[in-house]
Structure 1
Amino acid sequence: MADKDVLFAETSRFATTLAALPPVGQVLHELARCGASSLGMRSAGVSLCVDDRPQLAGALDEASTALGEAQERLTSSPCAEALRTARPVAVVDLTRAPGRWTAYEEVARRFGVVALASVPLYGDGRVLGAVDLYDMAARPWPSYDLSAVRLLNDIAAAYLAHSTALDELRRLADQLRQALANRVVIEQAKGVISGVRQVSIDEAFDQLRQHARYHQAKLQDTAREVVRTRHSP
């Protein structure tokens, strides 16, 4: 069973890490590390659900990398089952229940993995992925252990939702900045044309727009060229 003091320390460390707004890849790697450390596991990895299939997103070592990659290419695996059922999948001893995931078990045996658990990561009302935990000896999976992993998963899911919102805001801000920059250069080009041809600002804009259409060019690109050369098109 997970040690309460270790779980508290790892949860606190994980939350502190997220406060610095690290990249998503770092968050997922830290989630795997905290999950393994909280339960005293040898290894762990994180897979995201992409087109209803596991996609390895973070791994602590060669074993978790190999098992994560195996789950990507195999149709039957603990992670695939956890994603499909939206419920944890835990195995006390793979050697006592062979044949459940035959091809996957071959990879597990190669790295000496005996016990494993795949715990779904939820967010926005759906399964986003799963944390996969591995050990080299048989071990029980009390509900407290699985709840400890779910706690870490919930913290990560909240960050991922927040991160997605931040990304959307950044994209919107970039679009607004670009729109403003385009507007400014168009206004500058209208002034150049108005001065060169001695026409009104509205007439200058019509000439700029007609030139861009005739040459199948973007209005802002045509405007930048006018401003750069200081000549009317």
Structure 2
Amino acid sequence: MWRARWWHAGCGLPRSPTPLETHDCRRRVHREVAVAREQQLAGAFVELADTLVAGFDVIDFLYLLTQRCVQLLDIDAAGLLLADGRGRLELMAASTEQARLLELFQLQNEEGPCLDCYRTREPVACDDLGAAGARWPRFAEAAQAAGYMAVQALPMRLRGEIIGATNLFRVAPGHLDGEALHLGQALADVATIGILHERALRERELLAEQLQAALNSRVLIEQAKGVLAERRQLGMDEAFTTLRSYARNHNRQLSDVARAVTENSPDVAELTNPLRPLQRADTD
């Protein structure tokens, strides 16, 4: 370990530091450690935020999060479970293979801190898994066999919506201090925002695609109405009714029939050929 050294004035002999010098040295070291810690935290959050861009890879983002949890908190491993569309938790990321297997064990046996955390929407802690046999008999045994003696589960939630939970594992018994818990929850919140951002983006893209498809279909239908009106000498309303009736009678999408009409496809010749009689149009 590095130690500060002081020297007697006028000679090259070392001397013991005064209490004031010792105090100043400790303050300087603590300040340097605090600055380094703040820089590390800022770097981690910037790194996570940088992943929230186009082409966002959810799995890579969550794996990075578990790695940063281990790096920044007083823990030895981390795992993350997310709920699917039916509300069932699924393993998404883990910092180690042991943590991954333990998370899978938790899901398969339907017991453990992450499941309790997700159900209650509140943090769940166990300072000593050796004394948790009554609470989680199978999970506690499996966790100890994997080398973990303490666990903390944090909810992934935003404005009342919970999407999963994060497990923080420790080899030694004991609890996380308040600062570590606060930071751990902040990291879980970052993950939650990232996931919800990705889902909202995906939903907006799907909605935009559906809207564009509807607009394209509307254009085709208008064009097909014009074709029928011209060939069959019909009014536009009657042309639409005829087009719709044909689609229903043949169990086809209206937009598909409209496209076939505009492309003069032979499979709708009975509809577009003015020499062929029209079937009576449905009125519903």
Which TM-score tier does this pair reach, normalised by the shorter chain?
A: 0.7 to 0.9
Which one-letter code corresponds to 1:23 in the other structure? D
Please name the residue that 1:22 is paired with. Answer: 56
Q: Which structure has the larger Rg over C-alpha atoms? A: 2
Please name the residue that 2:123 is paired with. Answer: 88
Q: 1:150 Cα shift?
A: 0.8
Q: Tell me the SS of whatever aligns to 1:73.
A: helix
Matched, 1:154 2:186: no
Which one-letter code corresponds to 1:103 in the other structure? R
Please name the residue that 2:18 is paired with. Answer: none
Tell me how far apart the structure 2 counterparts of residues 219 and 198 of structure 1 sit (CA, whole Å): 21
Tell me how far apart the structure 2 counterparts of residues 185 and 54 of structure 1 sit (CA, whole Å): 44
Moved more, 152-161 or 177-186: 152-161
Asked whether the equivalents of residues 118 and 165 of structure 2 are also in contact (C-alpha less than 8 Å), the reply is yes
TM-score (norm 2): 0.72
Please name the residue that 2:148 is paired with. Answer: 113
Which structure ranks higher in relative contact order (CA pairs < 8 Å, sequence separation ≥ 6)? 1
Q: Pairwise mapping of residues 57-72 of structure 1 onto structure 2 (< 5 A)? A: 57-72=92-107
Tell me how far apart the structure 2 counterparts of residues 201 and 84 of structure 1 sit (CA, whole Å): 58
Identity of aligned pairs, percent? 34
Which one-letter code corresponds to 2:129 in the other structure? L
Matched, 1:9 2:50: no
Q: Tell me the SS of whatever aligns to 1:118.
A: strand
Tell me how far apart the structure 2 counterparts of residues 56 and 41 of structure 1 sit (CA, whole Å): 19
Q: Give the number of equivalent residue pairs.
A: 232
With over 3 angstroms needed to count, the CA separation of the structure-2 counterparts of 1:212 and 1:223, relative to structure 1, is same
Matched, 1:37 2:52: no
TM-score (norm 1): 0.85
Q: 1:126 Cα shift?
A: 3.3
Moved more, 65-74 or 52-61: 52-61
Out of 163, 180, 190, the position equivalent to 2:225 is 190
Tell me how far apart the structure 2 counterparts of residues 49 and 213 of structure 1 sit (CA, whole Å): 40
Q: 1:98 Cα shift?
A: 4.3
Q: 1:220 Cα shift?
A: 1.0
Report the aligned-residue RMSD.
2.5
